[in-house]
């Protein structure tokens, strides 16, 4: 989900491509029929590596300002915002720490003044980036309590509630981003619509999530968002299309993200995933390698390992799998950020299953969204605790989210508890939504569904009494 920040008021103001120019990469693709055979084109070479942004200049400018005046609270706030923006662009978690240091200094200088709202708001975003959701909520509420008239911290209030699994509270906070008595700006409506799009997806309305995210993209362009922030919107649009099984439209959205922000690591990995799921392994491997060279996210490294394994290069796959653990356990922040990723990696690959459950439980201490329930359920299943796993996956799907991987997990867990009809329904739904939802599990879903149907045909009486 996208993150609105005071950073966006000061960050790179280079005008992004207009909506028609970016979408024209594949205008037909964005309205294509889900499950239609995609036609993949090569990703232009100039989009594979990052282009310079204004963030480095902003960091140096803020540092120079502080040097001239060590008591300049706004200078420290600007430095913190610039470090936070660089963390968004590069994935370097050390920038979170640098941002926090600068913001704390700013708040020391103007703790109770109206001018503290920018530092408080950015600090809330830093806390979100570090998965300190309760702290993010506290800082954003402090910013609002100053009464400066800036309502943007409601976005972080909602984001924190969403990650804590309080989706109704999140929706209420997002609606307050656009007060009825306020003249709405494109920036305010983008901040609201991009977030509500995510809630629409969570509650099972993927088509409405797509419509709202397309609207948020247009609003983001009109409000002249920094290139990375706008690319995030395109990436999220691509994710919704991918969840809906519309591969061609997802591909076009990810390419739009790269056109807006060349070298966007999320978009590169997403393009690799699409191609890998369609059996285009060499292209997928190349795209993942480009993404990992920019930001080595453990989930990308794991997916690259799976591609190598699928294409028959197990030795290279094993190298990637070792790297997943190394990155995920490298330093305190990485361990916090990647608990869930590492838990799923272990569970997916049937290794260190006790540790997988421990990591999922640790994540659950601070995060109660549907995807943490899913990770917990999957880890419980892999540890043979089938009844507990079924309860957890029910929580993950309590809003009827149309996510094929969640439905696959639900189907496998239901099968383990003897609930054959639930298993069939869930596996069938996963494949109907997106027949190529996962490099490995889509085929396993088909195999399991075929086996259930074969068993029902050979023994219909048993199947009719399945619970």
Q: From 316, 337, 358, give the residue that closes a domain.
A: 337
Q: From 319, 337, 355, give the residue that closes a domain.
A: 337
Same domain, 321 and 395: no
Mean pLDDT along residues 2-9: 36
> 462 pLDDT exceeds 70?
no
Q: How confident is the model at residue 32 (pLDDT cuts 50, 70, 90)?
A: low
Which range (78-92, 243-257, 318-332, 432-446) has the least confidence?
Answer: 318-332
What pLDDT digit, counting tens, does each position of 374-410 carry?
999 999 999 999 999 999 999 999 999 999 999 999 9
pLDDT (0 to 100) of residue 36:
65
pLDDT (0 to 100) of residue 459:
76
Residue 278 maps to which CATH number? 1.25.40.10
- Residue 414, helix vs strand vs coil: helix
* Domain span including residue 330: 264-337
Percentage of residues in the chain having pLDDT higher than 90: 80
Same domain, 457 and 399: yes
Count of domains observed in the chain:
2
Element (H, E) at 243: helix 227-243
Same domain, 273 and 333: yes
pLDDT (0 to 100) of residue 19:
38
pLDDT (0 to 100) of residue 113:
77
Burial class (CB in 10 A: 0-12, 13-18, 19+), 257: buried
Same domain, 270 and 328: yes
Mean pLDDT along residues 235-245: 97
Q: Is 248 contained in some domain?
A: no
pLDDT (0 to 100) of residue 11:
36
Q: Is 313 contained in some domain?
A: yes
Total count of residues recorded for the chain:
467
Which range (20-34, 185-199, 357-371) has the least confidence?
Answer: 20-34
| Closest-CA residue to 143 (of 135, 151, 132) | 151
pTM for this predicted structure: 0.90
Mean pLDDT along residues 187-210: 96
Q: Is 439 contained in some domain?
A: yes
Q: Is 345 contained in some domain?
A: no
Q: How confident is the model at residue 24 (pLDDT cuts 50, 70, 90)?
A: very low
Q: Distance between CA atoms of 134 and 120, rounded to whole angstroms?
A: 14
Rounding to the nearest 10 degrees, give the CA dihedral for residues 419, 425, 427, 430. Answer: -140
| Closest-CA residue to 273 (of 73, 64, 467, 38) | 38
Q: Distance between CA atoms of 169 and 195, rounded to whole angstroms?
A: 13
What pLDDT digit, counting tens, does each position of 96-142 carry?
999 999 999 999 998 767 789 999 999 999 999 999 999 999 999 99
Mean pLDDT along residues 81-97: 93
> 465 pLDDT exceeds 50?
no
What pLDDT digit, counting tens, does each position of 298-347 carry?
999 999 999 999 999 999 999 999 999 998 887 677 778 899 999 999 99
Same domain, 384 and 460: yes
What pLDDT digit, counting tens, does each position of 58-76 carry?
999 999 999 999 999 999 9
Q: How confident is the model at residue 460 (pLDDT cuts 50, 70, 90)?
A: low
Q: Distance between CA atoms of 237 and 217, rounded to whole angstroms?
A: 8
Q: Is 385 contained in some domain?
A: yes
> 26 pLDDT exceeds 80?
no
Q: Is 32 contained in some domain?
A: no
pLDDT (0 to 100) of residue 181:
74
Q: Distance between CA atoms of 394 and 398, rounded to whole angstroms?
A: 6
Residues ≥6 apart with Cβ < 8 Å to 401: 201, 202, 203, 204, 370
Q: Is 281 contained in some domain?
A: yes
> 183 pLDDT exceeds 90?
no
Percentage of residues in the chain having pLDDT higher than 70: 90
Q: Write the CA distances from 150 to 87, 153, 306, 320, 382, integer angstroms.
A: 24, 7, 46, 45, 47
Q: From 307, 337, 367, give the residue that closes a domain.
A: 337
What pLDDT digit, counting tens, does each position of 343-366 carry?
999 999 999 999 999 999 999 999
Q: Is 259 contained in some domain?
A: no
């Amino acid at each position: 989900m996208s993150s609105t920040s005071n950073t966006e008021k000061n960050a790179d103001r280079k005008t992004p491509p207009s909506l028609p120019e970016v979408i024209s990469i594949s205008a037909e693709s964005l309205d294509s029929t889900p499950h239609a055979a995609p036609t993949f084109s090569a990703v232009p070479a100039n989009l594979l590596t990052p282009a310079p942004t204004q963030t480095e200049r902003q960091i140096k400018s803020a540092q120079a300002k502080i040097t001239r005046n060590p008591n300049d609270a706004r200078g420290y706030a600007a430095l913190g915002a610039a470090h936070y923006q660089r963390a968004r662009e590069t994935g370097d978690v050390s920038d979170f720490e640098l941002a926090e240091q600068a913001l704390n200094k700013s708040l020391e200088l103007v703790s109770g003044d109206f001018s503290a709202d920018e530092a408080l708001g950015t600090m809330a975003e830093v806390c979100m980036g570090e998965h300190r959701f309760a702290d993010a909520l506290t800082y954003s509420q402090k910013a609002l309590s100053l009464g400066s008239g800036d309502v943007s911290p409601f976005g972080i209030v909602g984001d924190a509630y969403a990650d804590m699994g309080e989706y109704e509270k999140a929706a209420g906070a997002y609606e307050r981003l656009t007060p009825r008595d306020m003249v709405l700006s494109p920036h305010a409506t983008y901040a609201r619509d991009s977030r509500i799009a995510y809630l629409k997806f969570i509650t099972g309305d993927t088509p409405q999530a797509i419509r709202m995210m397309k609207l948020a993209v247009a609003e983001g362009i009109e409000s002249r968002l920094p290139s990375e922030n706008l690319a995030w919107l395109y990436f999220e649009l691509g994710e919704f299309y991918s969840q809906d099984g519309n591969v061609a439209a997802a591909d076009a959205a990810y390419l739009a993200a790269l056109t807006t922000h060349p070298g966007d690591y999320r978009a590169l990995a997403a393009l690799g995933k699409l191609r890998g799921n369609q059996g285009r392994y060499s292209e997928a491997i190349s795209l993942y390698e480009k993404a990992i060279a920019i930001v080595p996210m453990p989930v990308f490294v794991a997916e690259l390992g799976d591609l190598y394994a699928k294409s028959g290069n197990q030795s290279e796959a094993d190298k990637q799998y070792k790297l997943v653990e190394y990155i995920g356990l490298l330093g305190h922040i990485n361990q916090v950020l990647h608990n869930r990723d590492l838990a799923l990696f272990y569970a997916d690959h049937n290794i260190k299953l006790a540790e997988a459950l421990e990591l999922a439980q640790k994540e659950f201490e601070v995060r109660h969204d549907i995807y943490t329930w899913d990770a917990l359920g999957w880890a419980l299943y892999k540890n043979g605790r089938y009844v507990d796993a079924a309860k957890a996956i029910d929580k993950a799907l309590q809003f009827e989210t149309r996510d094929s991987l969640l439905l696959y997990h639900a189907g496998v867990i239901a099968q383990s508890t003897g609930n054959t009809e639930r298993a069939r329904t869930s596996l069938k739904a996963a494949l109907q939504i997106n027949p190529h939802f996962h490099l490995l599990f889509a085929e396993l879903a088909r195999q399991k569904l075929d086996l259930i149907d074969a068993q029902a045909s050979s023994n219909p009486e048993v199947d009719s009494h399945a619970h």
